[in-house]
């Protein structure tokens, strides 16, 4: 067992006197804990990096033993061969937020789509900013552990705002958005302090001062603006108010990230070279792909719970969804190079994961919805077929003069709608309103059909103006319940309307499908 050293309050991110202090997420290690081959390789990498930075290609030259003063101005930072346990633990908060938010927010209109993208952008940019520091300067100290705890708390803040995330919509109280702005402010202030500690330990190296001060300035200015935005949101009023202040979050987040990457491209001394940034980004890509598998499995479980028989179309859709994830996995990881590529390319490559991961989450969310849609349409077609056969059958009985009563017709329709939909409403879905509407429609159909029987089927006005309307209401209620059972809900603005006609109900679901279809194929392209 290795000797465990007591944690200091602060720790230097530099190699000093041949000793390293690799922090592996909660375990302090001295240089003697590191295998000699790994330590020698690590020092060799730093020597090579320093020679490259100064244009020195002499393999016999040893840093700090020459008269090259510029070589002495290049600090040797600790480098980790792989992600630390603290970084992996931070990733768990990311995926937990993504999974929870995906289950809470249903994409059924343009507002919900932009809200989903916006939330993911802020989540990803916050994760990325923290990771940019961790891969380059992270150490194991009391201060760093406290800072990491604050970053964990920031992720919890994302989970808190998730259920009430409705940017761009009219609401009464913006206190949750004000609180979120403060959370973002605290996150950036923490990063500012972390960079400040790094600057303190590297202040004797002039090459690190300007880039670190620029990044610190970016974090501090971002924190100040985030804090100032709390006063820009509307105050509590008697009427719901719309505010676009939240757009500033996106602008600030993207701007500070671009600046941080730009600084690391210009000042190579704090670049990603020699870090495990490639592994960090590939791990996050793998996490997002895993989240896609979870979402698809949830879609399959919904189908199973509703006792639907497996059809060839649904099986094919599921296979296609799994293959899409598998092909995305191969396209990404088969192109991963084990060899180092240029510092600037690596930094641009890492930031380009922002649009890549945004597209990935949309594709994976969308393909799971397409599985749901496939089964929902099959269920709707089955109900429509039974519904149409029942209506046609009783119309024929009326014409033949063998129809007995409207109650019999109503009971047959009851068996169709309850047998296809209402008997299979899962727990957690409130179908009370639709069941009441269906019951009312069935009662009206029974009374009207008695009159239709009395007219021997000649009263077309009664059929068109009364019975057909009630049949449409019944089918509309069953359709809404069917889609609700699959967690495909109407947009809130549409759902609040009273007396939605069948045409409007069908067109609403068609529009939802068009939206899903469009963003899936745009994102995957």
Provide the terminal-to-terminal Cα distance of the chain, rounded to the nearest Å: 52
The Cα-based distances of 351 to 131, 265, 338 in angstroms read 12, 12, 19
Spatial contact of 177 and 246, defined as CB atoms under 8 Å apart: yes
Residues 6+ apart with CB under 8 A from 25: 84, 85, 86, 87, 88, 89, 140
Determine which helix (DSSP H) or strand (DSSP E) holds 454, and give its type and residue range: helix 432-454
Q: What is the spatial distance between Cα 195 and Cα 208, in angstroms, rounded to a whole number?
A: 11
3-state SS class at 278: helix
Residue that the structure tokens 């279809």 belong to? 517
Backbone φ and ψ of 62, nearest 5°: -115, 130
pLDDT value, residue 381: 94
The residue count of the chain comes to 525
* pLDDT in the model for residue 4: 60
Q: Is 23 in contact with 139 (CB distance < 8 Å)?
A: yes
Cα dihedral 116, 357, 487, 316, rounded to 10, equals: 150
The ranges assigned to domains in the chain are 85-360, 372-524
Displacement of CA 437 from its chain's centroid (Å): 36
Q: Looking at 225-297, which runs of residues are DSSP E strands? A: none
pTM of the model: 0.84
What gap in Å lies between CA 273 and CA 43, rounded to an integer? 14
For residue 524, what are the CA distances in angstroms to 105, 296, 355, 365, 517?
A: 21, 16, 11, 11, 11
- The whole-angstrom separation of Cα 277 and Cα 283 is 10
Task: Tell me which residue has tokens 């701007």.
Answer: 255
pLDDT score of 40 = 41
The CA distance from 385 to 143, in Å, is 67
Q: How far apart are CA 97 and CA 157, in angstroms?
A: 10
User: Shortest CA distance to 306 belongs to which of 422, 479, 437?
Assistant: 422
Residue 426: phi, psi to the nearest 5?
-75, 165
Q: Identify the CA nearest to 195 among candidates 258, 130, 274, 262.
A: 130
pLDDT of residue 341: 62
**pLDDT at residue 203, as a whole number:** 85
Q: What is the DSSP string of 394-453?
A: HHHHHHHT----HHHHHHHHHHHHHHHTGGGPPTT---HHHHHHHHHHHHHHHHHHHHHH
Neighbouring CB atoms inside 10 A of 266's CB total 12
Phi, psi of 382 (to 5 degrees): -65, -45
Distance set, CA 2 to CA 28, 195, 512 (Å): 10, 30, 59
Identify which of 259, 257, 27, 286 has the alpha carbon closest to the alpha carbon of residue 131: 257
Distance (Å, whole) CA 170 – CA 166: 9
CB atoms within 10 A of CB 506: 14
Written as one string, the DSSP assignment of 3-47 is PPPPPPSS--SB-BTTB---B-SS-B--GGGS-HHHHHHHHHHHH
Token pair of 172 as six digits = 């009464």
pLDDT at 401: 83
Residue 100's Cβ-side half-sphere holds a number of Cα atoms within 13 Å equal to: 19
Q: Which residues in the chain land under pLDDT 50?
A: 1-3, 17-70
pLDDT of residue 342: 65
Question: Hey, what CATH class is 372-524 in?
Answer: mainly alpha
Beta carbons of 70 and 54 less than 8 angstroms apart: yes
pLDDT at res. 35: 40
Residue 273: both structure tokens together: 């070279």
């Amino acid at each position: 067992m290795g000797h465990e050293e007591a944690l200091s309050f602060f720790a230097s991110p530099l190699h000093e006197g041949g000793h390293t202090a690799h922090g592996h997420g909660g375990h302090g290690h001295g240089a003697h804990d590191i295998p000699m081959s790994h330590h020698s390789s690590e020092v060799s990498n730093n020597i090579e990096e320093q020679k490259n930075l100064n244009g020195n290609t002499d393999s016999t030259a040893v840093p700090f033993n020459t008269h090259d003063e510029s070589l002495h101005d290049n600090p040797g930072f600790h480098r980790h061969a792989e992600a630390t346990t603290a970084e992996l633990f931070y990733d768990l908060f990311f995926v937990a937020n993504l999974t929870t938010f995906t289950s809470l927010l249903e994409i059924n209109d343009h507002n919900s789509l932009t809200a989903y993208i916006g939330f993911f952008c802020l989540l990803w940019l916050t994760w990325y900013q923290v990771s940019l520091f961790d891969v380059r300067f992270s150490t194991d100290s009391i201060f760093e552990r406290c800072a990491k705890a604050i970053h964990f708390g920031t992720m919890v803040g994302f989970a808190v705002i998730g259920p009430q995330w409705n940017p761009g919509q009219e609401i009464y109280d913006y206190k949750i958005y004000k609180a979120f702005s403060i959370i973002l402010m605290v996150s950036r202030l923490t990063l500012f302090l972390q960079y400040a500690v790094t600057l303190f330990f590297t202040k004797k190296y002039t090459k690190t001062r300007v880039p670190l001060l620029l990044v610190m300035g970016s974090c501090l200015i971002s924190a100040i603006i985030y804090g100032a935005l709390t006063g820009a949101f509307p105050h509590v009023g008697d009427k719901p108010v719309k505010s676009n202040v939240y757009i500033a979050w996106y602008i600030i987040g993207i701007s500070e990230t671009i600046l941080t990457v730009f600084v690391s491209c210009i000042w190579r001394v704090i670049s990603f070279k020699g870090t495990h940034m490639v592994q960090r980004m590939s791990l996050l890509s793998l996490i997002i792909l895993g989240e896609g598998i979870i979402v698809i499995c949830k879609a399959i479980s919904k189908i199973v719970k509703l006792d639907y028989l497996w059809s060839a179309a649904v099986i094919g859709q599921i296979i296609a969804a799994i293959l899409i994830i598998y092909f995305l996995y191969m396209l990404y990881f088969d192109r991963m190079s084990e060899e180092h590529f240029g510092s600037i390319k690596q930094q641009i490559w890492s930031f380009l994961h922002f649009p890549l991961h945004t597209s990935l989450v949309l594709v994976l969310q969308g393909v799971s919805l397409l599985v749901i849609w496939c089964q929902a349409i099959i269920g709707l077609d089955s109900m429509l077929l039974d519904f149409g056969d029942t209506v046609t059958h009783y119309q024929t009985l009326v014409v033949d003069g063998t129809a007995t009563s409207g109650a019999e017709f109503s009971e047959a329709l009851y068996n169709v709608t309850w047998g296809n939909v209402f008997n299979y409403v899962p727990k957690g879905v409130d179908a009370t309103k639709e069941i009441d509407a269906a019951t009312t429609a069935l009662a009206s159909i029974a009374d009207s059909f008695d009159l239709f029987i009395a007219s021997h089927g000649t009263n077309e006005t009664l059929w068109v103006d009364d019975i057909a309307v009630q049949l449409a209401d019944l089918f509309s209620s069953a359709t809404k319940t069917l889609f609700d059972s699959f967690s495909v809900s109407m947009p809130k603005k549409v759902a609040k309307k009273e007396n939605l006609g069948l045409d409007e109900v069908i067109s609403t679901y068609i529009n939802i499908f068009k939206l899903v279809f469009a963003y899936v194929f745009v994102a995957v392209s």
